[in-house]
Amino acid sequence: MNWFTNHPPHFVRWMFSSLTIGLMGIAVSGSAAAAQSAPSNDSVTANWGKTQDPNRAEPFWGEHQGGIATKPQHFTYFAAFDLTTTKREDVISLLKAWTAAAARMTDGETAQPMEGGLKLAVIPAPPQGGDASEMPDPGPRAADTGEVLGMPPSRLTITFGFGAGLFSKDGKDRFGLAAQRPEVLVDMPNFGAIDQMAPEHTGGDLVIQACAEDPQVAFHAIRQLARIAEGVAAIHWVQTGYRPIAGDRHLLGFSAEEKVPGMNAPSGEAIWVGKDGPEWMRGGSYIVVRRIRFAVEHWDQMPQAYQESAIGAMKHPHMEADQAQTTEKPSTDNAATDDSVPAHLAIVSPGRDSMLRRSYSYNDGVNFISERWPPWRQGLEYDAGMFFVCFQRDPRTGFIAVFRQMANRDFKLNQFWTHVGGGLFAVPRGAKQGEYIGQRLFESH
């Protein structure tokens, strides 16, 4: 028995973080205390002004899931899973195990208690007609892979979502939930040329958004949840994202400061499902994610005046003087400098209060390309852009309405970006201590 197995995991992770922090001379208490002092995430505005102190733990239990009205952390790891089981009880067991592990990790603990090893959500059954005793013994596996031991909670939030495939797939009511599919969980329309959704980056029966102030903490969370899901669900696609540590600009070079919709309406009317939705969704929301690839190389060849007229904003005040020599100052009212094509901001502003944007930049290295059209070229192209994330109570009047306008009118930008993946998912209400995420859906009939 080693030192770790002798000590409760929470103590282990807490002890390391306290020690580190103590050495840094910063006075903090343990993660449990931090969780207690953290405000409830009941209102949209409550957390927005909070600091991004990695020693803080965000609350897990509550009416709403974390990671929505939570001030955005600097890193995200988003994972979409396919259910590989055919049994409703397995899905329930998985959600119970995921809820328990997510609550622990949010609080800065290991995914499961270190003693006793890994507990899968569902004990694998022997192959049909087989004998359990003939199953290969995988041996004891560690309850947690350990890469965040000693690290603080890092404001981790874990947000679960349900895709259309949970309700039915290929016309089959797999888990007896087809009748519970919310009306607003629509099949996403295709928006034309800028919409080239690749199956390997699209959809999923269950999704998890892990956000944290440390990329390793976010990845750790997904890694543990995927381990627990063995035999029940498998990862279909993932996407990482980041926000600059200082500043708020995304890769086109413009400020990306999200506004909180309904700043004056702390009830979060635009985000939380109310009485108009199914009972199990009340207090929940709908998430739309889009992997939007920028043609960075082409964008970088454009004059700054064009870029500013395309977005409808100045890049930086110090550029204003240079800008004035070449063009009029763009504004959201009259964004186009060279023609009458409106700017992004002019197009999307009317829809600003219909969604809460919580997007990240992504940078997945380079792809090799070979083009046969003039000017024939081979070379490397960045695979980078925006992992657009938004929450709303009704995606038909939120993302879909706004994006339809963009697809039809945002011509100055549409030639530089392509939507290559993502999806729409129902994010059920939060869980109270003792409940599991999605419980009311499974108990609703």
Cβ nearer to ligand HEM, comparing 211 with 233: 211
Cβ nearer to ligand HEM, comparing 10 with 291: 291
Q: Is residue 299 near ligand HEM by the rule CB under 6 A?
A: no
Contacts (Cβ under 8 Å, ≥6 apart) of 84: 231, 232, 233, 234
CA distance 269 to 45: 12
Q: Give the DSSP per-residue string, 138-179.
A: -----SS--TTTT---TT-EEEEEE-HHHH-BTTB-TTS-GG
Contacts (Cβ under 8 Å, ≥6 apart) of 171: none
User: Which residue in the set 50, 96, 315, 352 belongs to the binding site for ligand HEM (CB under 6 A)?
Assistant: 352
Cβ nearer to ligand HEM, comparing 21 with 251: 251
Q: How far is the CB of 326 from ligand HEM (least distance, A)?
A: 21
Residues between 52 and 81 that touch ligand HEM (CB under 6 A): none
β-bridge pairing 285-294 and 417-427? antiparallel
Per-residue string for binding with ligand HEM, 259-278, x by CB under 6 A? x-------------------
Q: Is residue 247 near ligand HEM by the rule CB under 6 A?
A: no
> Cβ(101)–Cβ(112) under 8 Å?
yes
The residue whose two tokens read 């505005």 is 45
Q: How far is the CB of 385 from ligand HEM (least distance, A)?
A: 6
The H or E element containing residue 107 is: none
Q: Is residue 311 near ligand HEM by the rule CB under 6 A?
A: yes
CA distance 50 to 45: 10
Q: Is the backbone peptide bond immediately before 375 cis, with ω within 30 degrees of 0? A: yes
What the block records as the tokens of 157 is 């939030």
Q: How far is the CB of 91 from ligand HEM (least distance, A)?
A: 31
Q: Which residue is nearest to ligand HEM (CB)?
A: 349
Cβ nearer to ligand HEM, comparing 279 with 381: 381
Cβ nearer to ligand HEM, comparing 10 with 250: 250
Instruction: Enumerate the H helices of 136-284 as residue ranges.
Output: 164-167, 215-228
**434 burial level (CB within 10 Å; 0-12, 13-18, 19+):** exposed
> Cβ(319)–Cβ(313) under 8 Å?
no
Q: Is residue 310 near ligand HEM by the rule CB under 6 A?
A: no
Q: Is residue 168 near ligand HEM by the rule CB under 6 A?
A: no
User: Which residue in the set 134, 170, 257, 339 belongs to the binding site for ligand HEM (CB under 6 A)?
Assistant: 257
The H or E element containing residue 242 is: strand 233-242
Q: How far is the CB of 102 from ligand HEM (least distance, A)?
A: 28
Cβ nearer to ligand HEM, comparing 83 with 292: 292
Q: Is residue 316 near ligand HEM by the rule CB under 6 A?
A: no
Q: How far is the CB of 360 from ligand HEM (least distance, A)?
A: 11
User: Which residue in the set 53, 63, 195, 258 belongs to the binding site for ligand HEM (CB under 6 A)?
Assistant: 258
Q: How far is the CB of 331 from ligand HEM (least distance, A)?
A: 12
Residue 281, φ and ψ in degrees, nearest 5: -100, -10
Residues between 373 and 432 that touch ligand HEM (CB under 6 A): 386, 388, 399, 402-403, 406, 417
Q: How far is the CB of 70 from ligand HEM (least distance, A)?
A: 17
Judged by DSSP in three states, 400 sits in helix
Q: How far is the CB of 248 from ligand HEM (least distance, A)?
A: 8
Q: Taking contact as CB under 6 A, which single stretch among the options 13-21, 200-208, 216-224, 256-264 is the one that binds ligand HEM?
A: 256-264
Q: Give the torsion sign (CA, 125, 126, 131, 137).
A: negative
Cβ nearer to ligand HEM, comparing 77 with 399: 399
Closest CA to 86 of 231, 249, 223: 231
Cβ nearer to ligand HEM, comparing 9 with 261: 261
Angle between helix axes 215-228 and 88-106 (nearest 10 degrees) is 150
Residues between 75 and 134 that touch ligand HEM (CB under 6 A): none
Residues at the site binding ligand HEM, with contacts judged by CB under 6 A:
250, 252, 254-259, 290, 292, 311, 344-345, 348-349, 351-352, 386, 388, 399, 402-403, 406, 417
